[in-house]
Amino acid sequence: MLLGKEKFKSLGKNYLGVDMVYNETKTNKIYDEISNLLLKEIAVGDLGVSKGKYLLKKIYELYDEGNKEFEQYASCKKGCSHCCCLYVDCTAVEAELIREYVENNFTEEEKDVFKDKIDKILPLLPTSSEINENSAHALNYLKEKIPCAFLCEEGTCLIYPVRTFNCRKFLTITPNEECANGTHVVKLNPSINNIGMYSISMLSMNITRYKKLSVPNGSEFKALYKGIPSWFKDGFKEIYRNKE
């Protein structure tokens, strides 16, 4: 469907029967902007951590703008938090952004509360190796219904501005009650999800400090992803960079 110079597409109906029409022209523009960032600033390699965090924020900013096209159709609402007991992993640069945010925005007492929660989660959290070997580990973890360490009692995210890409892209068109029991969850997966994931993986590997934090991915390599709590085994002074 064309409207003026812009092209619109439909993803079908959402849980309310609403036709999920989105601006494909705008989405493609966001895709291209993230691609240009990847080619011109990320792929050059040998990046410092500060530059890496700056580029990560740019990716988040572009992605969030593009994702607005799809958020309007999702059942996800502030405070529902049913997905906040999933196994969620991230790269080193994403963990570093979280670490910095926690250090700068929370008291020592609040950080101790986060650390206590993390310490309780870690024995139950699958390792990245286990997840790569068998995805059933993630499903088994979900069954435990363990809230994220950064989720408050009201069901909102305390690190929302720096939440991981995997958190950002989790948009479901499943009715809320089905999300709650996990029986049937349908997620949206626009093209900007793929370029965002690839760019962040490349970014983390091209930061000099994190170059060793990569794993084989077919004939290539990808950034090491670990469950969010695993990066904070030693607290928030530094991320825990050992491979599991």
Could you tell me which residue, 164 or 75, shows the higher pLDDT?
164
- pLDDT above 90 covers a percentage of the chain that reads 77
| Mean pLDDT, the chain, integer | 93
The average pLDDT across 102-125 equals 98
Confidence of residue 183 (pLDDT cuts 50, 70, 90): low
pTM of the model: 0.94
Inform me whether the pLDDT recorded for 178 exceeds 80. no
pLDDT value, residue 125? 96
Confidence of residue 186 (pLDDT cuts 50, 70, 90): confident
pLDDT value, residue 127? 93
Give the tens place of pLDDT for each residue, 199-242.
Answer: 999 999 999 999 999 998 887 889 999 999 999 999 999 999 99
pLDDT value, residue 45? 87
- pLDDT above 70 covers a percentage of the chain that reads 97
Give the tens place of pLDDT for each residue, 13-34.
Answer: 998 999 999 999 999 999 999 9
Inform me whether the pLDDT recorded for 5 exceeds 90. no
Inform me whether the pLDDT recorded for 114 exceeds 90. yes
pLDDT value, residue 75? 87
Q: What are phi and psi of 9, to 5 degrees?
A: -130, 165
pLDDT value, residue 80? 82
